[in-house]
Structure 1
Amino acid sequence: MFSRHKSALVEPEQLLPGRSERVFPIAAQHKVLDAPVMTDEVPEGFEVAIFGLGCFWGAEEIYWKTPGVWSTSVGYAGGTTPNPSYEEVCSGRTNHTEAVRVVFDPKVVTFADLVKTFFEVHDPTQGFRQGNDVGTQYRSAIYYTSPEQEQVARELTAVYGHELERRRLGEITTEIRPASDTPYYYAEDAHQQYLAKNPFGYRCHANTGVKFPA
């Protein structure tokens, strides 16, 4: 994923300027699900969750396979540079993390279920990396879209964190912030549903091997 091995977020004077609008097209239809890729409007009663868990190619695949998920996309979250490109995010000078945006039906799959999956499929103790992928764009993050999501995210983080500490596997470094803090920027079309287009493509699942406690 072409990491530049940035190990710290950069100061404002080091940030790239970005651009006022997105300059690359994105396919309208999801490659796997019967839904649009860009979901600024979602069906009534559905919710949005945004997760950063390392390389977004494999992360998106995990969630589009989850029953109750209506649509997924990959993009850049938690940063500052407006409308960044993939190369700019990989430079470490936008402060974004690679993220997957999940639109789901809470009557079928709950936000808690999605968070539990989040913790099981990556290693939330690694800081600015996931396995061999090193850089600030690979940090662990949950960007909540409601007060209820925040409560669930913090409670489940505490539960899983206690389990990891009990096993002496380290402390959770997951960033938990409101999604409204910074915009979510859709990544380039080549990255959307990447593993549906490239079935033998790269997957990074550097998880701890610890299931979420019952």
Structure 2
Amino acid sequence: MQAIRNMFGGAGGERVPMKINPKHFILKTDVTTVPSGHASFVAATGCFWGSEKMFWRVPGVRATSVGYIAGKIEHPTYEEICGGRTGHAECVRVIYDPKIVSFADLLAMHWTSHDPTQGDGQGNDRGTQYRSGLYCSTDEQLKMARDSREAYQGALRAAGKNREITTEIKGPGDTFYFAEDYHQQYLAKPGSRKYCSAEPTGVPMPTAWLKANGGKFGPGFWAKYGPKPGCTIGVPDAQVSLDAALEAK
């Protein structure tokens, strides 16, 4: 098991890691480690509440957690990143089993769960912290992420949407910092404010690209369980079962 980050910081005012509950509120898995045979990456699609929910529902995703990435300081706080001065993006780290779900499937979720052409913001949320981004753990992921951008740009143009994708795509090197515990799996917790500013375009990822890149779920899965224009959070909290995903027509 590869330890991701120690949850317990020191005292005395120095910058320390956030203290969070390591158990995923829905999946009941450890969000702090990437088990052997698993992989991870980080996605940013605006406000991280709705982004995280869409990813944890995908079969094969072991754990998700929200946080901050690609900024200037260590262990930022929500208050700091909200000012837009630290350079971090709100994001979701996804730990997944590539035997069950492919990186191509997860890229499809990224592109279709928001509008990646909106620059520094998404819907009503504006600022660099709400930018679209993909932060890869390996060079192989980086290559596929870049290729997926071109494929989705073509799909947008074919659908009559001619704005350019503004998503930041980076390779290994950026550190993911956990956000405060109350943000983790926020939308599934009692008393949460059911808010998400994501504006999915309604344009699906090209089926041919998914097939060519090892996608495991077909058009039926995306039609039934994928993001819909206008809302990415009006779906059950539970993860979609693998059987249901494969049987979706």
Q: Could you say which structure has the larger radius of gyration?
A: 2
CA distance in 2, matches of 1:169, 1:207: 15
Asked whether 1:170 is paired with 2:155, we answer: no
How far apart are 1:205 and its partner, in Å?
2.4
Q: Secondary structure at the match of 1:83?
A: coil
Aligned counterpart for 2:206 among listed residues 194, 202, 213: 213
Aligned residues: 193
Q: Which runs of 5+ in 1 are unaligned?
A: 1-17
Q: Secondary structure at the match of 1:31?
A: coil
- How do 1:56-205 and structure 2 match up within 5 A? 56-166=48-158, 167-180=160-173, 182-197=174-189, 198=191, 200-205=193-198
Q: Which runs of 5+ in 2 are unaligned?
A: 1-12, 208-249
Asked whether 1:21 is paired with 2:13, we answer: no
Structure 1 pair 27–113 and aligned structure 2 pair: CA distance change class (3 A): same
Q: TM-score, normalised by structure 2?
A: 0.74
How far apart are 1:148 and its partner, in Å?
1.1
Structure 1 pair 200–83 and aligned structure 2 pair: CA distance change class (3 A): closer
Asked whether 1:37 is paired with 2:37, we answer: no
Q: Secondary structure at the match of 2:55?
A: helix
How far apart are 1:199 and its partner, in Å?
5.4
How far apart are 1:20 and its partner, in Å?
3.0
- The AA in structure 2 aligned to 1:21 is V
Q: 197-206 or 61-70: which moved more?
A: 197-206
Is the 2:139–2:172 contact (alpha carbons within 8 Å) kept by the matching residues of 1?
A: no
Q: TM-score, normalised by structure 1?
A: 0.86
CA distance in 1, matches of 2:178, 2:147: 29
